[in-house]
Amino acid sequence: MGLIDNTLQQIRSIVDLNGHMDTENAEKAIRSNIFFRGPNAWILAVAIIIASVGLNVNSIPVIIGAMLISPLMGPIFGLGLALGTNDVPLLKSAAKNLLVMVSISLCVSLVYFLITPLSLTNPTELLARTNPTIFDVIIALFGGFAGIFEQCRKDKGTVFSGVAIATALMPPLCTAGFGLASGNLPHFFGALYLFVINCTFITLATYIMVKYLRFRQTEFLNEKMKRRTKTFISLLIIAFIIPSVWSAIVLVKQNNFEEKATAFVENHKSIEKSFIYDYSFSHSDGSKVEIFMTGEPLSETGRNNLYEAAKEYGLESKNIIISEHTTERKGSDTEVIKSLYDKMDAEIAKRDEKIRMLEDELRKAKGEEVPYLQVAKEITSSYPSVGNICITSGANVQHGSTLPEHCVLVVADISKEFSDQERIRLTQWLKIRLNSENLILIVRRQENKQESTEEPETRNEADKK
């Protein structure tokens, strides 16, 4: 029992929050960060443009950078704090500033996508923000927990930056602006739905932690006002929780359907003399998978066999839409085959381009590789006094500089001093040989490690005596 008690005590000491949390300063910080006025509004607009460019060119680093810049989290934490402390004025202020934030974001992204000359045939980073999944719910909920922990703990760290990236509030707003600019309402509503999910679950996590950590509750002038406010807050919390739970359940069902449908399609690529070459999902009017087939038309038996096979994966015939591009009509076989070849050619071209880029990078890396052994042999043949040679490639950072310069460092151990002319001549030769103007030569005098030569002589004299 002693071992179990000690183990439980150790666990309690690890997870205990007492002494690590400062709810008073956390409340002040949350209240001060909900306003979108002056610099905050401009920072948000700039971050939205950067995120829109990143989404437009499928650049994940640019999107991450924009999320780090953006001050989006403030009003959302303010909503959770207001619900947890029964603070109606704070609730109104946070909701108002959240609306301002969304308006600025949508307007800026809309203008960007209306005037941008960039155009992508397959904007994957944009499309990824139009179909929320259960994983978005999980990330938003636990990201909210991490964010409120970071707000409350005494020793602040880098958690808040990670929360801003993980919960991804900005990309959905930019994608919604893209949907408006392109007139694609499904993209607009899908992205906006993802943003609402993120906001709701971050707010819910904040509310739970505010209650658990026992933040200071709002004081009321009289009991009637207190009861009325608590009733209003309770109804609002229920209004938050019920849609949240419902959307989570729906997303779980959609995710499960997609997993089953994917397994079904991957295991039944060929039916009779037709085969499935692509498939897609839709959840607007019940979950459905549309499979695209080519080859000869499916017979009634083949179609029934396909539906029977789908039942093994929990799919009904109403969940499956079959789109056939058959070779039934004259000339259509050529068109279908050409279409398939075009698709494969496009995929091959894309991969060839990637291989070329990788080969260029490899060729560049090999070109920059220093021929260490050959250079060392050439130096020692021209300068017999040179012993050990160290050659390395690195970066030279000047004081006050923001960008490091590439340089080559050569350290030579010599047995006798170099003259100034020899040092200059060797430096110039190394710059030409290593093709680097930014070269640093360090010459070190090698100490002669003489083992005491007097010892043997003394020993011989002693032997003579």
- Please list, in sequence order, all residues whose beta carbon lies within 8 angstroms of the beta carbon of residue 173, skipping any fewer than 6 positions away: 48, 102, 105, 106, 109, 191, 195
Confidence bin at 460 (pLDDT 50/70/90): very low
More confident residue, 375 or 458: 375
What is the Cα–Cα distance from 67 to 162, expressed in whole angstroms?
A: 10
More confident residue, 159 or 261: 261
Same fold for the pair 17-218 and 372-445: no
Q: Cα 110 vs. chain centroid, distance in angstroms?
A: 23
At 7-26, the pLDDT tens digits run: 777 777 776 776 667 788 88
pLDDT over 50 (residue 455): no
Q: How much is the average pLDDT of 323-332?
A: 55
Domain 372-445 top-level CATH class:
alpha beta
Q: What percent of the chain has pLDDT over 70?
A: 79
Q: How much is the average pLDDT of 327-354?
A: 64
At 206-239, the pLDDT tens digits run: 888 888 888 887 776 667 777 777 787 778 778 7
Q: How far is CA 47 from CA 57, 83, 171, 177, 438, in A?
A: 15, 29, 10, 14, 37
Residue-range domain boundaries for the chain: 17-218, 330-369, 372-445
What is the Cα–Cα distance from 153 to 23, expressed in whole angstroms?
A: 8
Annotation: CATH topology of 17-218: Glycerol uptake facilitator protein (1.20.1080)
At 179-210, the pLDDT tens digits run: 888 888 878 888 888 888 888 888 888 888 88
Name the percent of the chain in helix, strand, coil, to the closest 5. 65, 10, 25
Q: How far is CA 90 from CA 95, 325, 352, in A?
A: 8, 59, 57
Alpha-helix runs per DSSP H in 298-398: 300-311, 332-367, 372-382
Instruction: Check: CB of residue 293 under 8 Å from CB of residue 324.
Output: yes
User: For residue 408, which of 399, 398, 395 has the smallest C-alpha distance?
Assistant: 395
Task: Note the pTM of the prediction, 2 decimals.
Answer: 0.56
